[in-house]
Structure formats: C-alpha cells, structure tokens
C-alpha cells in the first residue's frame, strides 16, 4: 500500500502548475497554428504569382513569335516597292541598259537589306567539303587533283543569320 500512496503523491502536482503548463502548451499550439497559416498564405501567394508569371510569359512568347519577322518584312517592303517600279519600267522602257541598271540596283538593295538584318552568304566554291555546312548534291570527276574533296560548284547558296546556319549550301563535290 505504501507504494500506491507514493505514486499517488508523486502524481499529485499543484493545480497552478498544470494550468501554467496547459496555458503554455495552448499558447505554443496557437502560435504554431498561426505560423502554419502564415506560411500557407505565403505559399498560396507565391504559387499564384508564379502561375501569373507563367501565363504572362506564354502570352509574351506567342506575341514575339507572331511579330518576330515584322522588322524584316517592313524592310523587305521597301525592296518590294523598288521591284514594282522596276516592273513598270520594264513595260514602258525599251532601253535595255537602263533596265539592267535598275534591276541591278534592286538586287543590291535586297542584298544590303538582308545583310543589315544579319543575313550573310556562305562561301563554298573552292572550299573543302564540310557536311556541317554543305549539302552534297552530287560528285563529279575533276582534272585538278587539288579539287578532289572540294566544292566545285554551288547549286544553291547557303546563308547564315547572326552566325547560325539558316540554309545549307547545296554543292557539287569533286572526286
């Protein structure tokens, strides 16, 4: 019986201590609940912000794709106007030399406009065949041994746009 009395005595804690511990526990629980709510609210706002960013970014990307060539097209319209004027001259003028000069001016303006936009012709003839920049159409026998494995003729010119290949050169290679 003495053992029972001891355990009962040990278990008897003043009521004030229990209340204080309960209040501390409750306030800690309340504080933790507030912290969780605050973190949850921050997370929801961050998620919404990120979702808005994704939508805005997708919209901007679509707009960029739709208007990406606008600047180039506007520049090309000037060349198109020159082509229209040259076509009128072809119908009315009989001076062949004047017509040739006019057409040559249009071609020069076209090349300069493309070059101003970053388009460059790739040099191929006489160069070593390189499958990274050339597309071989055919091989032909050559008399000069120095031209074996080199580009002999260019069927279609290759072009780069800001140093990135946009069209490969179609070439004839010597064998």
93-102 residue pLDDT tens: 888 888 888 8
pTM of the model: 0.57
Average pLDDT rounded to a whole number, residues 119-132: 89
Domain boundaries, the chain: 14-67, 70-117, 120-175
The pLDDT value recorded for residue 20 is 63
Q: What is the band of 1 on the pLDDT scale with cuts at 50, 70, 90?
A: very low
Edge-to-edge order in the sheet of strand 151-156: 134-140, 169-174, 151-156
Residue 88: is its pLDDT beyond 90?
A: no
Burial (0-12, 13-18, 19+ Cβ within 10 Å), 127: middle
- Would you say domain 120-175 falls under CATH 2.30.22.10? yes
* Residue 97 φ/ψ, nearest 5 degrees: -65, -40
pLDDT in tens, 141-155: 988 888 888 999 999
Higher pLDDT: 138 or 2? It is 138
């Amino acid at each position: 019986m003495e053992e029972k009395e001891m355990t009962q005595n040990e278990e008897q804690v003043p009521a004030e201590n229990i209340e204080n511990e309960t209040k501390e526990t409750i306030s800690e629980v309340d504080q933790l609940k507030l912290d969780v709510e605050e973190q949850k609210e921050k997370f929801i706002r961050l998620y919404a912000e990120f979702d808005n960013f994704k939508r805005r970014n997708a919209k901007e990307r679509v707009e960029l794709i739709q208007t990406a060539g606008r600047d180039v097209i506007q520049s090309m319209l000037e060349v198109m106007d020159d082509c229209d004027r040259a076509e009128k001259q072809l119908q009315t003028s009989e001076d062949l030399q004047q017509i040739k000069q006019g057409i040559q001016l249009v071609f020069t303006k076209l090349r300069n406009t493309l070059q101003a936009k970053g388009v460059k012709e790739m040099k191929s003839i006489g160069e070593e065949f390189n499958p990274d920049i050339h597309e071989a159409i055919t091989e032909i026998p050559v008399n000069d041994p120095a031209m074996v494995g080199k580009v002999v003729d260019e069927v279609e010119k290759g072009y780069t746009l800001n140093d990135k290949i946009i069209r490969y050169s179609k070439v004839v290679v010597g064998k």
